[in-house]
Copies of this chain bind each other. A is one copy, B any other.
Amino acid sequence: MALIAPSRRLRRTPFSDGVEAAGVKAYTVYNHMLLPTMFRSVEEDYRHLKEAVQVWDVACERQVELRGPDAGRLMQMLTPRDLRGMLPGQCYYVPIVDETGGMLNDPVAVKLTEDRWWISIADSDLLHWVKGIVYGFRLDVLVDEPDVSPLAVQGPKAEDLMAAVFGDAVRKIRFFRFGVFQFEGRDLVVARSGYSKQGGFEIYVEGGDIGMPLWNALMEAGQSMDVHAGCPNLIERIEGGLLSYGNDMTRDNTPHECGLGRFCNTATAIGCVGRDALLRVAKEGPVRQICALDIGGERVPGCDRLWPVMAGARQVGNVSSAAWSPDHDTNVAIGMVRMTHWDAGTELLVRCPDGDRPAVVRDGFWA
């Protein structure tokens, strides 16, 4: 494996000093920012995430802030999810599509007030698309990337740790809701959300200067809970079916192909830029779709490119993420498979770099 070359362009975060002190071993780059991928080993981090509590530097989930009278209208232009029933205090997972219905991002939209939103983005410069739309339609809305850096607290002991720092009221936050809590006199948005299935919170740290004080407070308060620096875990996220934009889906895919049809209300999402293109797909369904796959054999190598999925000599899909799962004693994988072969139980071959392996389509993810 090669090193990552530091430069200002791969932006540090308000928590980078803590991440380095905790002994980060590998990074990826996400929204032009450093995102840790491993502290002890991917498997040790995985075990610990499922048993204790971790603090994650996910500052790379940059925010696109929409502010002004047209903010709500703009937000609806971006997504086929119907936002009419959404209230301030709620977070929605929203597919963002272009005019052809292709996925541009799969962020969480945070509705702060009627005229102020944060879009907590996956890895693409969604800001550019939003600014282009705003300019083209002359909307009355400010669009910018504010100084807001999410810090996630994930794992079975996450609630206890959060309560120790923010008070017991955090326990009352419901899933994909947020409240405003104080830290060092500063109001912070705290949501029950995060990129794992172990439960937890995301703190939208507004103002980079309190990044390390908050990091340190969490580490201090969590000593008895075996808190450790962590990061989104490859194995755990595949088990949980948490998709990764750029890995499991790209602009080539519709939300329906990504299994995100349940987040689309294309008929009623009036104003959505991709609505015309998606109405037909919404009615007829996609011809290929994200699936969970068990891949046989020993531990798979790292999946750094699409692996063809074969039915005999015919390619019927690709695997985009894969890892050995200690808990399920198999290689867990996410792929996209054509409808002719996507039924649960279908036996296929995956063309891995070290040879073909048997694989079986599952009827759902592992966790």
- Interface positions of A (Cβ within 8 A of B): 1-10, 12, 24-29, 32, 37-38, 98-99, 104, 123-133, 135-137, 244-247, 273, 302-306, 320-321
Query: Assuming A133-B132, A273-B135, is B1 touching A28 (CB within 8 A)?
Result: no
**Are A9 and B246 in contact, with the CB atoms below 8 A?**
yes
**A271 → chain B, closest Cβ, in Å?**
13
List residues of chain B with CB within 8 A of the CB of A123. 9, 32
Partner of A129, one of B128, B137, B321: B128
When all copies of this chain in the complex are counted, the total is 2
**Are A128 and B104 in contact, with the CB atoms below 8 A?**
yes
List residues of chain B with CB within 8 A of the CB of A26. 2-5
List residues of chain B with CB within 8 A of the CB of A133. 132, 135-136
**Are B9 and A25 in contact, with the CB atoms below 8 A?**
no
List residues of chain B with CB within 8 A of the CB of A7. 28, 244, 247, 302-304, 321
**Are A6 and B135 in contact, with the CB atoms below 8 A?**
no
Query: Assuming A4-B1, A136-B137, A137-B136, is B125 touching A12 (CB within 8 A)?
Result: no
Partner of A8, one of B4, B8, B273, B305: B305
List residues of chain B with CB within 8 A of the CB of A131. 98-99, 129, 132
Q: Which residue of B lies closest to A132 (CB)?
A: B132
**Are B29 and A10 in contact, with the CB atoms below 8 A?**
yes
Query: Assuming A132-B130, A136-B132, is B304 touching A6 (CB within 8 A)?
Result: yes
List residues of chain B with CB within 8 A of the CB of A38. 3, 5
Q: Which residue of B lies closest to A34 (CB)?
A: B2
**Are A4 and B6 in contact, with the CB atoms below 8 A?**
no
